[in-house]
Amino acid sequence: MTDKVFHLGLTGFPLGHSLSPALHTAALQVMRLKGEYGLYPAAPETADLQCLLGRVRQGELDGLNVTIPHKQTVLPLLDALEPAARAAGAVNVIFRRDHLLIGDNTDLPGFLSDLHQQFPHLAVPGQRKVLVLGAGGAARAVCAALHSAGWQLCLAARRPEQAAGLMADLRLSSAESLPLDAAGLSACGSVALIVNATPLGMAPNPQNNPWPASLPLPAGACIYDLIYNPSVTRLLQQAQQAGLSAASGAGMLVEQAALALERWTGRPAPRQVMKQVLNNWR
Ligand code: NAP
Minimum CA distance residue for ligand 1 atom 27:
138
For a ligand 1 pocket test, name from 19, 198, 205, 277 the mutation site with the most ligand atoms within 8 angstroms of its C-beta: 198
Q: Cα separation of 36 and 39, whole Å? A: 10
Burial class (CB in 10 A: 0-12, 13-18, 19+), 67: middle
Atom of ligand 1 nearest to the CA of 248: 41
Q: Residues of the chain whose pLDDT is less than 70? A: 1
Pocket of ligand 1 from Cβ distances under 6 Å: 68, 107, 134-139, 157-159, 162, 180, 197-200, 202, 226-228, 249, 252-253, 256
Q: What is the pLDDT of residue 127?
A: 87
Q: Return the SS3 of 165.
A: helix
pLDDT digits (tens, 9 = 90+) for 129-182: 999 999 999 999 999 999 999 999 999 999 999 999 999 999 999 999 999 999
Residue 4 is among the residues annotated as catalytic for this protein? no
For a ligand 1 pocket test, name from 142, 226, 271, 274 the mutation site with the most ligand atoms within 8 angstroms of its C-beta: 226
Cα atoms found within 13 Å of the Cα of residue 277, Cβ hemisphere only: 22
Q: Return the SS3 of 41.
A: strand
